[in-house]
Amino acid sequence: MLLGILKDTYPGERRVALVPASLPPLTKAGFTFLIEPGAGISAGHADAAYLEKGAQVASSRADVFAKADLLVQVRALGADPNGAAADLPMFRQGQTLVATCDPLSNPEPARRFASSGGNAFALELAPRITRAQSMDVLSSMATLAGYKAALLAATNLPKIFPMMMTAAGTVTAARALVIGAGVAGLQAIATCRKLGAVVSGYDVRAAVKEQVMSLGAKFVELELETQTAEGKGGYAAAQDETFLRRQRELMARVVADSDVVITTAAIPGKRSPVIVTADMVRGMAAGSVIVDLAAERGGNCELSRPDETVIENGVTILAPTNLPATVPMHASQLFGRNVANFLLLLVKDGKVRLDGEDEILRETLLVREGELAHPSIGGASNAPTGATGAAAAATAATSAASAATATTATSAAPAAR
């Protein structure tokens, strides 16, 4: 099986789908490798490093498409629509693509891809089961996003995070509020604590209180009747507008007392819920900082603008949309391990498995031999023979929930694992 490693073309994307250290286990499984020139440079991996692990360097991107049986990259199809349009003419029948594809928010590129006669797997749709944890790219990237969010807040805050007692007097610690206690939120809490801030965490699911407190943070409890609302699989249940309005009223006081607010609630395929309103921002002290990790889908802060810095009433609002790409070396290392584990499951005896018997492969398969295969993009269920329509619907729902694990959740979004 010749595996092609493509260079990502999405603006600002510096990660690579497989790093040199990811190749040896795949080599033992029978893979050979063809890498696009310079694919790993932005992540700190020169072509020579891939050559040392037995890969070949192609003459061009088109050469990779022409020769490889299976292609991997970080962002493809709906996650990089312009790049997908440029690459589409190079795909051939029977070729397989493995990447993050964002089919829930932007399914059209996947539908167009079907015309190539190829196969496509969306890594972010991996089900939330124990066996899939080693392939969970969203949780891996969410960990890095939470870490970087805390660093961004510390860098932009005109105060230091820790308390210091000096001959010139005592400096009080900064107060940080993290909204959402999933993977990104918990990592943001842990990092803020390590930097010395006094940290509070909020999540609509009372069940995560112990996790927040175990990191040395205070768990914020609002007087809401559905505070313990929890959906299937440990996800936070979606709430109605009455709940959200009451939540915002109570949250305003907590936000006003914070020097830093990090928000992490995102819903796959939908606009992120507004949790921090413009009035809340205006109630914060000048110099305060908000880091909105849900900016790519509209943002949890009403005033956020994706990849821009907004200053409102002295409050700095940061809305990064791809923080893992700002630490591409370790992000690629983690992503590559996830991808390698997925590939070892996907390919058996030199052939890509499209039988639908394996739950992980079934729920990540978008396009099969030129036909739409996933209910989320209008395809037929690719479940094993005999599956009912209800089972197909359940597959789509599970996949949608799994996609939310890139970020954490509050009242309206599934929680990260």
Q: Which of 15, 61, 128, 337 is catalytic?
A: 128
Q: Where are the alpha helices (DSSP H) in 283-327?
A: none
Residue 128 annotated in active site: yes
CB atoms inside a 10 Å sphere around CB 220: 17
Q: For residue range 172-198, what is the model confidence (pLDDT) as tens digits?
A: 999 999 999 999 999 999 999 999 999
Positions of the chain with pLDDT under 70: 223-241, 243-244, 379-417
Residue 61 annotated in active site: no
String of DSSP letters for 352-409: E--SS-SHHHHHHEEEETTEE--GGGTPPP-PPTT--HHHHHHHHHHHHHHHGGGSB-
How are beta strands 260-263 and 289-292 bridged, if at all? parallel
Question: Which residues make Cβ contacts (< 8 Å) with residue 44, sequence separation at least 6?
Answer: 328, 329
Residue 133 annotated in active site: yes
User: Which pLDDT does position 401 carry in this prediction?
Assistant: 37
Bridge partner residues of 351 (DSSP): 348
* Domains 2-136+328-399 and 142-325 agree in fold: yes
User: Which pLDDT does position 247 carry in this prediction?
Assistant: 72
Q: Which two tokens stand for residue 51?
A: 């050559």
Q: Which of 73, 139, 239, 304 is catalytic?
A: 139
Question: Which residues make Cβ contacts (< 8 Å) with residue 322, sequence separation at least 6?
Answer: 12, 13, 296
Q: Which of 56, 133, 134, 227 is catalytic?
A: 133
User: Which pLDDT does position 417 carry in this prediction?
Assistant: 41
String of DSSP letters for 144-192: HHHHHHHHHHHHHSSS-SS-EEETTEEEPPPEEEEE--SHHHHHHHHHH
**Cβ pair 198, 257 in contact under 8 A:** no
User: Which pLDDT does position 402 carry in this prediction?
Assistant: 35
Report the candidate in 173, 79, 136, 18 with the shortest Cα–Cα distance to residue 366. 79
- In CATH terms, the superfamily for domain 142-325 is NAD(P)-binding Rossmann-like Domain (3.40.50.720)
Q: Which of 69, 87, 235, 402 is catalytic?
A: 235
CB atoms inside a 10 Å sphere around CB 345: 16
Residue 199's alpha-carbon distances to 146, 180, 181, 409, in angstroms, are: 14, 13, 12, 18
Exposure string of 86-123, with b = 16+ CB inside 10 Å and e = fewer, is ebeeebeeebbbbbbbbbbebbebbbebbebebbbbbb
pTM for the structure as a whole = 0.86
Strand (E) or helix (H) holding 251? helix 241-256
Which residue, chain included where needed, has tokens 């993977």?
A: 183
* Architecture (CATH level 2) of domain 2-136+328-399: 3-Layer(aba) Sandwich (3.40)
Which residue, chain included where needed, has tokens 């921090």?
A: 276
Domain ranges of the chain: 2-136+328-399, 142-325
**Cβ pair 238, 270 in contact under 8 A:** no
Q: Which of 87, 136, 203, 259 is catalytic?
A: 136
